[in-house]
Amino acid sequence: MGSGNGSGAVAAGEPWAVPPCDERVCSALPLRALVPVTAVCAALFFVGAAGNALTVLVVRAERGGRSTTSLYVGSMAVSDLMLLLGLPLDLYRLWRSRPWIFGALLCRLSHFVAEGCTYCTALHIAALTAERYLAVCFPLKAKVVATKRRAKAVIAVLWAVALLSAAPFFFLVGLEPPAAGNRSDLGRECKPTAAAQESGLLGAMFWVTTAYFVLPVVCLHVLYGFVGRRLWSSELQTRGPRAAARQRGQRHTVRLLAVVVLAFVICWLPFHIGRIIFINTQDTKMMFFSQYFNIFAFQLFYLSASINPILYNLVSKKYRAAAYKLLLPHRSGQRAFTVTRDTGGCTETSASIRNEYITTF
């Protein structure tokens, strides 16, 4: 979670910090809380890393029929994978908020990458929804506008905007001595600097992060309202099997993205609530509550980076077929053929099964 909510490293040196804590070594939580949190996060790390890596490989494998949706999904999987790579460092900060032994550069880089990937995921979900809005509400225009080349350009812009927006975090964090005043390097913490907190820049950047959640959610709500109304009206006007099949495909893709958006909101809402509580709380008891609430949000935050491949597998038959083909190519080759009987004996499969492998989502 990078800079996260400040629950571990920032609060650890204060009077409300949880023992064991002295001038050199400090944990953010007692052992009875650290063990289950670590177990959950370890499971999220392995499941999420494997799932997102598989998603990237599936998208890369479908070169001939890669869709614009697949491009966005693959890029978002890269973002989630990079986010998960910071999980071990965040767990270290929970167990030992000080001393930080990995150096100032990794301290700053971990915060910067975490924030940048957080912004990037939000932008990708908004872009995916906008692309589906065009495809459903303006299908003819979408064929001209939503091309693979333009999708790649949009993805590059999304990454650039996200990383530039997160760039201040690279300078707002560093190795700071604990509040007790110990100036030894062994007691330094990886956390927002005193200058960043006193100047108000840290609080401002936390509100930027909140905006990266609230604005996309509002945008998603509006666009899905238009998409739902369009699908409902077109369902009443559908004529012919081809039109019905096209509309079923649109509904399926929209349903998949709606599940992803719902998971995004559920997993990220506590994260932003926790940040708002933390930066606006001075009371000791409330800060103690904030510390534990943010640990709950910490786990949901990393769940959001792990859950998308599971949702793709549950909702999308095409994703399951493509993953099966990638993991078990010999068996998938056998499954790609069906045998039908006619007066001449046996004939090879229909194009419908081959088409299932052409596009991933």
Which of 44, 81, 134, 50 minimizes the C-alpha distance to 313?
50
CA 268/CA 261 separation, integer angstroms:
10
3-state SS class at 360? coil
Report pLDDT for 244: 58
The residue with tokens 């820049």 is: 201
Report pLDDT for 28: 65
Report pLDDT for 56: 92
Which of 336, 328, 334 minimizes the C-alpha distance to 358?
336
Report pLDDT for 188: 79
Report pLDDT for 152: 92
What is the CATH code for 31-315? 1.20.1070.10
Which H or E element spans position 219? Answer: helix 201-237
Q: Which two tokens stand for residue 294?
A: 């943010």
> Under a CB-based contact definition with an 8 Å cutoff, are residues 191 and 173 in contact?
yes
Q: Where are the domains of the chain?
A: 31-315
Q: Write out pLDDT tens, residues 276-300.
A: 777 776 667 777 777 778 888 889 9
Residue 125 CB-density burial (10 A; 0-12 exposed, 13-18 middle, 19+ buried): buried
Report pLDDT for 167: 93
β-partners of residue 340 are 347
Query: pLDDT averaged over consecutive 10-residue blocks of the chain (361 residues)?
Result: 42 39 63 88 95 91 73 93 94 84 91 93 90 82 83 95 93 78 61 82 83 87 78 58 59 70 85 77 71 85 90 80 80 47 37 36 59
CA 360/CA 319 separation, integer angstroms:
5
Amino acid, single-letter form, for residue 213: F
